[in-house]
Each structure stands twice: as C-alpha cells, then as structure tokens.
Amino acid sequence: MSAAAHELFDYVIIGAGSAGCVLADRLSADGSNRVLVLEYGGSDRSVFIQMPSALSIPMNMKKYNWMYETEPEPGLDGRRLHCPRGKVLGGSSSINGLVYMRGAPADFDRWQEEGARGWSYADVLPYFRRAESRREGGDEYRGSDGPLATRYGTLENPLYRAFIEAARQAGYPASDDVNGYQQEGFGRMDMTVKDGVRWSAANAYLKPAMKRANLKVETHARVERILFEGRRAIGVRWSRGGSTQEVRAAREVILSGGSINSPQLLKLSGIGSADELLPLGIEMVAHRPGVGENLQDHLEIYFQQASTQPITLYSKMGLVPRGLIGARWLLKKDGLGATNHFEACGFIRSRPGVASPDIQYHFLPLAVTYDGQGLASEHGYQAHVGPMRAKSRGWVRLASADPFAAPRIQFNYLTHPDDRVEFRAAVRLTREIFAQPAFAPYRGREIQPGADVTSDEAIDAFVREKVESAYHPSCTCRMGSPSDPLAVLDPQMRVIGVEGLRVVDSSAMPSITNANLNAPTIMMAEKAADHILGKPLLAPSNAPVYAAPNWQSAQR
C-alpha cells in the first residue's frame, strides 16, 4: 500500500458522471467536508466533447466510452446492442446527445407508489428548478440560476416547424414547454448547451468545485471494491497504473457509477444475490437479490423520409462543410456546431386509456443513425420514436470476480408482447404525422421502414432488425420500501442492509422516466445531497400539471 492508504475523507464518491459531479459540488460547498471523487476516465478537454454537434464522435471512442455490449438479445433475433457509458469527467453527460428532458410528472408520482416515498413530482420539481439555469428564464416549473444551463435551439431549419405543424394537423396539441405544465404534445426541445458549449455535469458542477481545497478528484482511478467493517462501509480500494490504494470514508461512501457499473461494484463488494456471488467466491456482506435486476431502457426506431428539397443537413456532411462548421465553432462558438440538432420533439399516448404520454419523438433534419455511422445517401429527415414504458426487464450480472472484467448485460428487449404492440402503434402514428400537409413541400419516399411495411408481422420484423437503444439504461439498484426484498435502496438512497453506503445515479430509479435520463439523474443527485448532509428538504411544489381530459376514450 502507498502512503495514500491512510488518507481520510468525509465522503468518497465513486464516479464523476452526471450524479457524481453534482455531489462533488454540493457536498464540498461549505468547505467543512473533505470529499474525494474517484473517476476511471480522464480529462474531458476534447473539442469532440465540448462541441455539441460532434456528439457521435466521443460516443464511438474507447478513450471516453466503456464500450459495453449486450448479450445476444432474444427479442431482437440474437442481435447484440451497443451500450455506451461515459468513461470521462462528466460521465455520460460528456458523450450523450445533450437533450434536457425531465420526464412526465406521472413518472415521479409512480415512483412514490413503487415505494420511493418523498419522490413524487411535487417533491422533485423544486430540485429540477434548483439545478437549472434556463436561458429563456425561469417560472414555477423552470429554474433560472442553477448550475446546469439549458436552452432551446434556433429552429432555423424549416423542417422543425413543419414537424410541429404536421403533428398539430394530425390532431395533437402543441406544448409551450414539454418540461413544464404540459408534456403531452409537440414543441421545442431543450439542450444542455451554454454559450455554444456542451454543458455537461463536469462543466456545470465539477470544474467550479475543483477550485476548493477540500475537494480532491482522482482520474484514471479504477475502484475495485468497497471496504467494510462488518456491515459498515468504511472506504474504497482503487488502483492506477499497477499500484493499489485504499482510502477511508469517515461518513459515507457514495456510489455513482451508473446503471451498469454501480450494480457491478456492489456485487464485487459482496452486496447482491447469494446465488450469484457465492459460486464466484465473493464473500457476502448483504444478500440483496435485487442488485442488477430490473434493468430498463428506451428503444427507438429511426423513421426516415426522403426530402425533395435540399434543405436538410445532408449537404453539410462532406469533409469541407464539416470543416467550415468546426472552424466557425472554434472561432465563434455558434452556427451548426453549437447545437445537437434535436430541436423539436413530441410526446403522445399510444392508445385510449393511457393517462400520460408513452411514446417520445426526437426530430432531426437529417437521415442518419444516432451513432453517426449510418448516413443515408440522400437528403432526408427523421423522427426517433419509441415507447417510453417498456415492460421487458433485464439484468446486469458478473462475468467473474475480476473487477476488470466487463459485466454481462441483458435487457431482454421486446420480450414482453405489450412492447411489440406499442412499437406497431409508434410506426403507424408516425407515418400519419409524416403524411400531413405541412410536410407536402418536402415529402419524398419513405426510406425506412418503407411504405410496404404495414402489417403487424412486417412491422415486428422491421423493429427486430433495426431498432436501437436510446442509451438510457436504468433501474438496476432501485429505490423502494425497506420491506421490499427486491429493493436495493431506501428512499434516502441508502443501501438496505448495510450502513454508510448510498447509490446515487440512474440505477436508483424505481422505473424508467418518460424521456431522456440526464435531467432526472442530475435532479436525483441534487435531492440526495440534502439527504446526505441532513439538510431540510426543499418545500414541495404545488404547480399544476396537465392531464388530457379525454384520455380514457381517445388517443389524442
């Protein structure tokens, strides 16, 4: 052991991702607590990370991405899907699509019903507001002076407005703010961008906090296990460059590794199902069979239409135009380099009897795959569309007791029949929107799925072959009632059955939210900080929320 073996901190945070960065800031803010952050990745000082439109580049780099893959997925004809996770300061907030989307108010009320008391929408809205600094200003739903900057895109491309208008023509409402009073409907999509730069959790929270003498951040630090005395977490063993070190936590160890790495590290440290850990020779600390179970995600298809007018981003995909976009961004931090290009969105209900939206749209004035690998060979536009509340459940399990071995990941995508029914609705409802008069000046052929893909069987086959993850793994260390044998965390995010250990990240969600995960993960860390420090919680909000008056009898 090195001399660092005797270092003592009040709090040791594992992971400098969306949640860990928030905690690093909030727990060190008053100067009285010594805080250590251990992050396996390195610096985020790359133009590819900081330039919003370059988002697909770091997502495809081993330097910044854990590069996980699923097991062969039985519901997808045995395909393995990419499961990217950020391995860099800022975590996945440094390689994601920069979408700021909170989820539906009903999601958080459901969390409370699922045993996460104190996490209803009224309880969490004040923490969303505390986190946010919205360029367009705050109100009773939105924050105006928090660390996390959000803004709308410019909607310069006419296809964005055509999409919103087509949805209105199809009978759907417009929403002034899908993150505010009314999620249901179509409108502008917020992004985590400030002054043209990706506003990751590292830029928003961690870097300002790193100026403090009481906060220490170690990069390239691989945590191998959490250390216990009896059932109390007392520290962490980590390694870098062949040397192993141990640090002690006087108050708490906080695991913010994300929905893949957090359950993996709990299991390596002896917290999980005895049936899984004992055969691997791992000494049990607490039998919690829910660790690594309940894995959820969002799947989406790319519904692509050719454009008869050369106004899409396709003309900007060549080497010279891309170089000019990059040069302008480097000089002025504006132009097409300063947006994620997801500037319009929508939330709809798949059928009558669904109380709150369960299908989400991201609209893009380009036909391309999310990872940037599969560019269409013509002008086109697309909607990313998929059901938000899939019933299929997966797991994260250890491949071995070696902390350097990647875990096994199985989502069991589309194995629940209801998920396939919802995808059929998503395809047909999207086709109807794209057929509206607002798109008439631009509408060419349907590139994907293709006009002949109309029957249930044809849609199912297309989805199995082409569906992709929206990269929202979650729920593997879920909060719930301490009496629930499958809950991993209590509603204060403490690991049930041990002391001095919490998990704060998207794995703590009882069930997945009805939108992208970065915003709610940051909110959860904001609220967790108050729990950890023993501060009074922010007063619940009484802001009203929209409910479709005809939801029981009509789809729109």
Q: Which residues are catalytic?
A: 472
Nearest Cα to 357, choosing from 417, 422, 292, 418?
422
DSSP E strands, 349-467: 359-364, 380-387, 395-397, 408-410, 443-448
Beta-bridge partner residues of 288: none
For the chain, state the CA radius of gyration: 23
Beta-bridge partner residues of 9: 249
Handedness of CA 264, 270, 276, 282 (dihedral sign): positive
| DSSP for residue 93 | G
Contacts of 164-168 spanning 24+ positions with Cβ under 8 A: 164/344, 164/346, 165/436, 165/438, 166/433, 166/434, 166/436, 166/437, 166/438, 166/439, 167/346, 167/433, 167/436
**Count of alpha carbons within 13 angstroms of residue 556, beta-carbon side:** 17
In Å, how far from its chain's centre is CA 393?
A: 17
236 Cβ contact partners less than 8 Å away, ≥ 6 residues apart: 12, 14, 38, 223, 225, 226, 227, 246, 247, 249, 253
**Count of alpha carbons within 13 angstroms of residue 182, beta-carbon side:** 16
502 Cβ contact partners less than 8 Å away, ≥ 6 residues apart: 252, 253, 254, 255, 489, 492, 493, 494, 495, 528, 532
User: What span, in angstroms and rounded, lies between the C-alpha atoms of 200 and 220?
Assistant: 19
In Å, how far from its chain's centre is CA 244?
A: 31
Nearest Cα to 295, choosing from 68, 18, 95?
68
